[in-house]
Every structure is written in structure tokens, then in C-alpha cells.
Amino acid sequence: MKIVSAFAVVLLLALATFTVAEQAGGQRTRGPMVTSMQASIDKDGPHPNKAEIKGPAPVTCLGGVSDDPKSPVVTCKITGPGFDGILKKGEKVDLTGAGTVTLACTGRGWVRCNARIN
């Protein structure tokens, strides 16, 4: 009889836990959409990347690399609503509205750069 009552207690506790979790709204709200961008330069020339944004959004340059050890520091060239300029690794700019965001790299040799739109 002890096994049956122990099983009943465990079942009751599990049911209570699931009921409380359901009432508490166990789902987290979705965070803002994040868009990752990557651009490059190779023997065929620059390969920029474009993305559409629906409103104001921050853009962060995540960094870049080059195969040329004498290349200047690789940076992100960002063009978008309210901004047209160069960002170094870790720098952020706030775009002002909806539109197209273009990422291009600056540097020498085979280059790749990455940016993130939040």
C-alpha cells in the first residue's frame, strides 16, 4: 500500500507543478528580431550585403578579418536611413527609420566583415 500512496503523491505533485506553470504563462516573450550581415572583398571585387529594416534600429560592427597582414584594420561601411559611414569593431550607430541597410568592408586583400542589426 505504501508504493501506491507514494506514487499518488508524486503524481499529485507533478500535476500541481504543471498547473502552476501553465497559469504562470511559462512562455517567455520573444525578443527583438536580430539580423546578421556579412560582406566580403575577394579577387572578383567587393560583395556587399543588404537587409531591409522596418523602423529605427541599432547596427553594430562585429569586426572583420583580412588575409593580408599589412592590410589596414578591417572596418564596416554602413549605409542606411540616417547614416552613411565607417564603423570600427564594437562601434554602434542608431539608424533613424525604415529602409535598406547596406554593409560593405574596407581593407586590403581577401576581406570579410560582419555586422548585426537589432
Of the pLDDT bands very low, low, confident and very high (cuts 50, 70, 90), residue 8 is confident
Separation CA 83–CA 66 (nearest Å): 25
Which pLDDT does position 28 carry in this prediction? 73
Which pLDDT does position 77 carry in this prediction? 98
**Structural domains for the chain:** 35-117 (2.60.120)
* Buried-state track 1-28, b at ≥16 Cβ within 10 A, e below 16: eeeeeeeeeeeeeeeeeeeeeeeeeeee
Which pLDDT does position 85 carry in this prediction? 97
What is the rounded average pLDDT for all residues in the chain?
Answer: 88
Of the pLDDT bands very low, low, confident and very high (cuts 50, 70, 90), residue 10 is confident
CB half-sphere exposure, 74, CA atoms < 13 A: 24
Which pLDDT does position 24 carry in this prediction? 53
Give me the amino acid identity at 115: A
Which pLDDT does position 99 carry in this prediction? 96
18-43 per-position pLDDT tens digit? 766 555 555 677 777 889 999 999 99
Which pLDDT does position 29 carry in this prediction? 75
Whole-prediction pTM: 0.74
Separation CA 43–CA 65 (nearest Å): 15
